[in-house]
Amino acid sequence: MSLSALAARRVLAAASQSSHEGGAKQWKILTIVLAFPGVAACMLNAYMKGKEHSHEQGEFVPYSHLRIRTKRFPWGDGNHSLFHNPHTNALPDGYEGHDH
């Protein structure tokens, strides 16, 4: 192998090795500068929206196309969905614990 071919091979090997190191450094900088502040801004936005959100129960309107029970659920009393929340999920006749 000639001396110039050996030198060219060394230059190419050094260039490919340094480009991989630069890529990792670039992604680390992008993560610190863009990703972490972006996640922090999204978390702050979600927190602020949660604070201003009203947690009051909405008025029950007995629409005929909602809460249709053609078959009983196979758990509990058969009227509550699997992930039923009495504060937010109404039954066909209204919210639980209210005499409206």
- Residue 39's pLDDT is what? 97
Number of other residues whose CB lies within 10 A of the CB of residue 90: 19
| pTM higher than 0.85 | no
Per-residue pLDDT of the chain (100 residues; tens, 9 = 90+): 676 777 777 766 665 555 566 788 999 999 999 999 999 999 999 999 988 887 778 788 888 888 888 898 899 888 898 999 888 888 888 888 765 4
CA distance linking residue 95 with residue 58, whole number of Å: 10
Within a 13 Å sphere around the CA of 47, how many CA atoms are in the beta-carbon half?
6
CA terminus-to-terminus distance, the chain: 94
Q: Rounded to an integer, what distance in angstroms lies between the CA atom of residue 83 and that of residue 58?
A: 19
